[in-house]
Structure 1
């Protein structure tokens, strides 16, 4: 998967807050409790495509009906 094919990215600050971005624009900020869940899910991702799907599901606004898990 190319860098341009990955619309989602995330960043973690020193306070363990996760910032989720969609094409560079911040779309979600998680608290510490949710950040732990997010990082646990991300560590289990098999590849970049799986990581992108996990982040899309976390945001909740990007479901298109084809994520049957």
Structure 2
């Protein structure tokens, strides 16, 4: 998988930052998932991504395992 495919392909595209942020707020209100809008370096449109610290496995309820010494 190329960086472009991982970053852009198959993701919802928004024409403006405003519409992307509105959708992110809808998702947060409906599911509690915190998303952020970002401008794609490949297509120059806007996508939604996970906010730092809110990866998929965290949102799905899987506990974060601390490394054992």
Give yes or no for TM over 0.5.
no
Q: Which structure shows the higher helix fraction?
A: 1
Bigger strand fraction: 1
Structure possessing the higher radius of gyration over alpha carbons: 2
